[in-house]
Structure 1
């Protein structure tokens, strides 16, 4: 069977995003509206710290590459327990053993994939297995083994030795409101955005951002985002703050992942059979 094909950010989340970015870029040019990417990467930061704890590691600092600019997760659920779309679980694209998911215990008031109806949970878990296998093949070997995170369908984790690298692969429907946000560098915040040609007339934003780890060292993360039909796609990789190690991937390498047919096949399935809550407001709304 061929496979292809989260609700608007909460008001509190939008407020925190804007306040954090304003503080980081004080005296710098006005920031673009980065809510969709910011939320995904900000969530990755929190997922990194919690996934490391769930994997038996300690001392991970929830700072993140986009540290000063982005908030960590709020209490809003990243996954809505909604009825299944009726689409069956996709069949495997890649043979091989299943990857044991990284378990993250939800915070009080937060839901997870465990709260989904059984059929929908199975569908999302199968998608995660396939996505993890594809990401493992396409991301640089330094990511180690890429595994799904059981908190939300968009969360993954690369693990190499003692290093933990959070990965976000999100395909969020927008209800026809999908549009490309502005792309603007913010040198004062060490935030670089480049608008590039993805393929076939489609454009993407390739973002490189630098945060400061607890030890005072710079940690770099990268993100690629683009609009696909009525969905916003985000692929991001964060560094390991506890070890002050940047994400072992460049923006160009992440773009190559986004252009690969194996990755795009996953995007097409997720766009046609959504697994994340719909974004209810347009950029800046």
Structure 2
């Protein structure tokens, strides 16, 4: 047994000497312990970053969801955002061909005021498409004196006519009424010579009672400009269509009460109203005040 053990030890010694000779001149093997520790630290750091990013993302979504206004589709109940998501654009009426896109008029929001630029992308596209269709229809229905009607990028209800260097602001608003149980009753429709206003009621298709008020606006020297405002209730919304004069040139809105009532009673205009009532784009109106 002793001779066998001696032979094994001699063999092991020869193997070690051969390995030493073969590795002579080669660079030393790296110390794997620090590398492993460093890799472990990097993996833990990446894990912490990933977990932190996930938590931050959840918090950001929570904050964004809490502060996001209720834009988007309604369900015909007058509640903005009552139905999830944005309605399919195919549901939007096309009362007239819009033709080439009309470049929106840019109006910078005042401090604390929001604009369409702050809307979610899908909702902004929906409102912009609605504005394009509305502007094209108003071009068709309003008197030629308004010139080309363009959307204003501040709000979906804002438009602007332009002719001969004059600017005529136009508003087309379809606002959900919300809870108006405590709202005051509509004041009687009557003229007010002191305020230089005239009130006229008319029945639109479907038995809708609309009220048109022609009133003096800004005064400068001996000049006074007038504008026309038409308002009526449709479904769960208050609809307002108004046209004002040009302040800089002191030129009144080139439209009469009868003409604006004709616009409001057009079946194509009421189709736009129907869509906006079913899929609200404006926040609720807390109260309905007399005109």
Task: Tell me which interval the TM-score lies in, with the shorter structure as reference length.
Answer: 0.5 to 0.7
Instruction: Tell me what 1:184 maps to.
Output: 190
d(CA) in 1 for partners of 2:173 and 2:288?
A: 17
Q: TM-score, normalised by structure 2?
A: 0.66
Checking the alignment, whether the CA contact within 8 Å between 1:82 and 1:117 is kept in structure 2 is: no
Q: In the TM superposition, what whole-angstrom CA distance separates every residue of 1:80-114 from its partner, at most 9, and x where no partner exists?
A: 84342221333644141000000000111111000
Q: What is the rounded CA distance, in whole Å, between the counterparts of 2:143 and 2:278 in structure 1?
A: 28
Q: Report if the CA contact (8 A) 1:213-1:242 is conserved.
A: no
2:289 aligned with 1:283: yes
Provide closer, same or farther for how the CA distance between residues 105 and 95 of structure 1 changes in structure 2, counting only shifts above 3 A.
Answer: closer
1:169 to 160, 172, 175: 172
Question: Which residue of structure 2 lines up, in the alignment, with residue 88 of structure 1?
Answer: 88
Task: Identify the range of structure 1 (151-160 vs 91-100) with the bigger mean alpha-carbon deviation.
Answer: 91-100
Counterpart CA distance in 1 for 2:244 and 2:123 is 28
Is 2:98–2:132's contact at 8 Å kept on the other side of the alignment? Answer: no
Match of 1:147 among 145, 150, 159: 150
How far the C-alpha of 1:169 sits from its partner, in A, is 0.3
Q: CA RMSD in A?
A: 1.9
Offset at 1:282? Answer: 4.2
Instruction: Give the aligned partner of residue 218 of structure 1.
Output: 224
User: SS of the counterpart of 2:214?
Assistant: strand
Gaps of 5+ in 1: 1-79
The structure richer in helix per residue is 2
SS in 1 for 2:194: helix
Instruction: Give the ranges of 4+ consecutive aligned residues of structure 1 lying more than 4 Å apart after TM superposition.
Output: none
What SS does the aligned partner of 2:281 have? Answer: coil
Shift of residue 223 of structure 1? Answer: 1.1
Question: Size of the alignment, in residue pairs?
Answer: 205
1:197 Cα offset (Å): 1.8
Structure 2 unmatched runs, 5+: 1-67, 74-85
Report SS of the residue matched to 1:277.
Answer: coil
User: What secondary structure sits across from 1:241 in the alignment?
Assistant: coil
Instruction: Please tell me whether the aligned partners of residues 176 and 238 of structure 2 are also in contact (alpha carbons under 8 angstroms).
Output: yes
Q: In 2, distance between residues paired with 1:148 and 1:95?
A: 12
Structure-2 residue corresponding to 1:113: 116
Structure whose alpha-carbon radius of gyration is higher: 2
